[in-house]
Amino acid sequence: MLLALAVAIYSLGLGNPYIPTNGDEMVYAHIARLTAASGHWLPLVSELDNMRNTKPPLLFWQALQAGDWGHHWSLAALRTPSLVYTLLLAAMVAATVHGITRSVARAALAACVYLAFFSTFRYGRPFLTSAPETFWLSLPMFWLLWQGLKPQPPVPAKPDASPGWWAHAAFGLAIGLGLAYKSFALVAPAAAALWCARLATEPLLDTRVLLRATLQVALSASLALAIFGLWFVLDPDPAAVWQEFVLAENAGKMASTEGYWQVALRGGDGSMLAQLLAYVQNAGLLAFVVLGLLPVALKRWRASLGGQKLALSLPPHTRILLVWLAVWLLVFMLPSQRSARYLIPAMPALACVIALNWQHIGRIWFVLCLPLCALMLLVLGRIAWVAHDLGIASTSEWLAAMAAALTGLWLVLAGLWRARWNRGCTVAACLAVYACLGLSTAPLSGPAGRYPADALMVLAKPGARVAVPNNFNGQFERFEFLLPGYRFVPYDSQARVSTTPDGAALADLLARHDAVVWLQGTPTETAPPCAPGCRLLGTRWELKGRHRSGEITLANLWYPQQWLFRREWLIGPAS
């Protein structure tokens, strides 16, 4: 039941522009839309400076098919493939744990844990996502896990019973598809994890086995790079691919103007210490559960000191999972640019490890997660309440959000009250937070978040030029889903207002465009600053996604109308 609820939560609001996402999602939606308009698979097309060949083409080809080459262009259509990949990953996690434990309940729990990770929730649904490459890069590791779970013959396994050359060719195909979604650089952690997992599960490790495994993994890596290299063959401008993707997008991340060791050891974001906590950060509300694995590992290590070595005492599936986690962590500690999201392709392994050690993780680690869930539910419940007061949410939408918040709080209390409930209640409360988040922002996908039809009829004009705010990379692209059919000209509202009075800035934009989208500057501003020199065509509510330092404080946290909700006005000339 909990797994079915998690799938429903992930499907909720797939077309909502305000779901947790990557800030660059609109950049890649822009590239996909213009590429579709060109009618060609390649080259990729963009109107943004230095943002064209920043991702391999498979990501955009997926969008071309999902959006029917622009004929059914919507956020829901673009994001659906990402959701499918995420649910397939959850299914593979469940199948792995079921194969190990033979328990349907434990398998469903593993899938719920994977879906409860915040990194999965944030990057597992948007168009610019980590789900496709995670799926393809994980396939070889899951294949090794499933092979190890098959019934073994009574005679000892021979060294050549390990995966053969054809299996490694298939591994290369899978890894290559993952690279074609993200970057050729991912061949390093993917191939290293595969090689280490092969060696960790060999019944007899000698020079012959080592050489064979090395050559087979080298074959997989070579095929993967060859598949990625097809981009250079198919693209009419391979020199641009080399310059924009290989040199600027990838090689540039390996360099640091501050000095490699200074960045690595200074502490804070980008340091090696911060990267060590990447799995904890990706887990989100389940962070303490991940930390709870450390005492379990320490206990097993101490138990192994008096007998067999730990590596040899662990079952093969555990060795594969640990190698998967360790290799990805170690590889991404080496570049000068480090980020927790680079380890998302290893999060399926973490979900399996948590599910397999579910009863061994101390209850206190689950109890520590519950107050975090309660705090988030209170804040989200307050946001839903204010949205209803402002007229954004209908009564039914408000009741749905409040029901999710109250259910989540009840789960928190139940987990704190009954010790034997706190493990299950922790995962359920985490999913309740995601449900409340989706329901509290859902009204902005309806009439409150869209311009009225009569406003669009007034603006109707072939090729009308509309000035739209753009305070972050490609954010003007969101208006393609709000006001389709117009020509959008982005302007930096923050920079313009800081150098020009609001009224003069708006008048200047109106003089050069057919209409202007203007954002409410302060909570007390109730009308655009141009009357009577303009005509208000329509208005809608918008969520402020990027905040300056000091805009959200403990003093105003309970009043989201001051920092979250704001008006957006569609304005035309007075005559």
Residue 388 lies inside a defined structural domain of this protein: yes
Residue 518 lies inside a defined structural domain of this protein: yes
Residue 256 lies inside a defined structural domain of this protein: no
Q: If we measure between CA atoms, which residue out of 488, 484, 504, 487 comes closest to residue 496? A: 504
Domain of 385? Answer: 378-445
At 414, list the tokens.
């139940």
- CA 173/CA 179 separation, integer angstroms: 10
Q: Same structural domain for residues 462 and 563?
A: yes
Residue 193 lies inside a defined structural domain of this protein: yes
Q: Same structural domain for residues 223 and 271?
A: no
528: pLDDT confidence band, cut at 50, 70 and 90?
Answer: confident
111: pLDDT confidence band, cut at 50, 70 and 90?
Answer: very high
Residue 370 lies inside a defined structural domain of this protein: no
Q: Decide: 232 and 184 in contact? Cβ < 8 Å.
A: no
**Alpha carbon separation from 502 to 144, 509, 562 (Å, rounded):** 62, 11, 20
Q: Same structural domain for residues 301 and 388?
A: no
483: pLDDT confidence band, cut at 50, 70 and 90?
Answer: confident
Q: CB-based contacts of 554: which residues, under 8 Å, 6+ apart? A: none
| pLDDT score of 267 | 61
AA letter at 210: L
- CA 323/CA 141 separation, integer angstroms: 10
Q: Is the pLDDT of residue 200 over 80?
A: yes
Quick check: helix, strand or coil at residue 573? strand
| Domain endpoint, select from 250, 282, 313 | 250
Q: Same structural domain for residues 181 and 223?
A: yes
Dump the DSSP string for 501-517: -HHHHHHHHHHHSSEEE
CB-side exposure of 574: number of CA atoms within 13 Å? 8
* Residue 165 per-residue DSSP state: H
Q: Same structural domain for residues 48 and 76?
A: yes
- CA 226/CA 176 separation, integer angstroms: 8
Q: Is the pLDDT of residue 159 over 80?
A: no
Q: Same structural domain for residues 7 and 118?
A: yes
| pLDDT score of 262 | 64
Q: Is the pLDDT of residue 345 over 70?
A: yes
Dump the DSSP string for 270-291: TSHHHHHTHHHHHHGGGHHHHH
Q: Is the pLDDT of residue 179 over 60?
A: yes
State the sign of the Cα–Cα–Cα–Cα dihedral 71, 76, 80, 81. Answer: positive
- CA 529/CA 512 separation, integer angstroms: 17
| Domain endpoint, select from 196, 225, 250 | 250
| pLDDT score of 292 | 95
- CA 487/CA 108 separation, integer angstroms: 48
Q: Decide: 132 and 87 in contact? Cβ < 8 Å.
A: no
- CA 208/CA 512 separation, integer angstroms: 74
**Mean pLDDT across 382-407:** 95
Q: Nearest 5°: CA angle at 215, between 210 and 220?
A: 125
> Which strands sit side by side in the sheet containing 487-491, from one edge to the other?
487-491, 465-469, 515-519, 565-573, 534-543
Q: Same structural domain for residues 200 and 297?
A: no
| pLDDT score of 81 | 96
Dump the DSSP string for 347-388: HHHHHHHHHHTTTTS-HHHHHHHHHHHHHHHHHHHHHHHHHH
| pLDDT score of 302 | 73
AA letter at 326: A
| pLDDT score of 363 | 93
Residue 523 lies inside a defined structural domain of this protein: yes
Query: Higher pLDDT residue, 247 or 115?
Result: 115
Query: How much is the mean pLDDT over the chain?
Result: 88
Q: Same structural domain for residues 231 and 267?
A: no
pTM exceeding the 0.75 threshold for the entire prediction:
yes
Q: Is the pLDDT of residue 329 over 70?
A: yes
Q: Are strands 465-469 and 487-491 parallel, antiparallel or unpaired?
A: parallel
Dump the DSSP string for 515-566: EEEEE--STT--S-TTTTSEEEEEEEEEE-----TTSS-TTTTT-GGGTTEE
Q: Same structural domain for residues 211 and 309?
A: no
| Domain endpoint, select from 250, 273, 290 | 250
Helix (H) or strand (E) holding 209: helix 207-234
Quick check: helix, strand or coil at residue 465? strand
* Residue 153 per-residue DSSP state: P
Quick check: helix, strand or coil at residue 30? helix
Q: Is the pLDDT of residue 298 over 60?
A: yes
| pLDDT score of 28 | 93
Q: Same structural domain for residues 495 and 433?
A: no
- CA 506/CA 497 separation, integer angstroms: 9
167: left (phi > 0), else alpha (psi -120 to 50), else beta? alpha
- CA 274/CA 259 separation, integer angstroms: 17
Q: Decide: 371 and 428 in contact? Cβ < 8 Å.
A: no
**Structural domain count, the chain:** 5
Q: For residue 189, count other CB atoms closer than 10 A to its CB.
A: 22
Q: Same structural domain for residues 325 and 354?
A: yes
Residue 366 lies inside a defined structural domain of this protein: no
Q: Same structural domain for residues 9 and 119?
A: yes
CB-side exposure of 439: number of CA atoms within 13 Å? 28
Return the C-alpha torsion angle 298, 303, 304, 308, nearest 10: -160
CB-side exposure of 115: number of CA atoms within 13 Å? 36
| Owner of token pair 């009577």 | 532
At 140, list the tokens.
């070889």
- CA 405/CA 399 separation, integer angstroms: 10
**Mean pLDDT across 206-229:** 94
**Alpha carbon separation from 367 to 2, 55, 141, 361, 402 (Å, rounded):** 19, 41, 32, 11, 23
Residue 538 lies inside a defined structural domain of this protein: yes
495: pLDDT confidence band, cut at 50, 70 and 90?
Answer: low
- CA 413/CA 390 separation, integer angstroms: 30
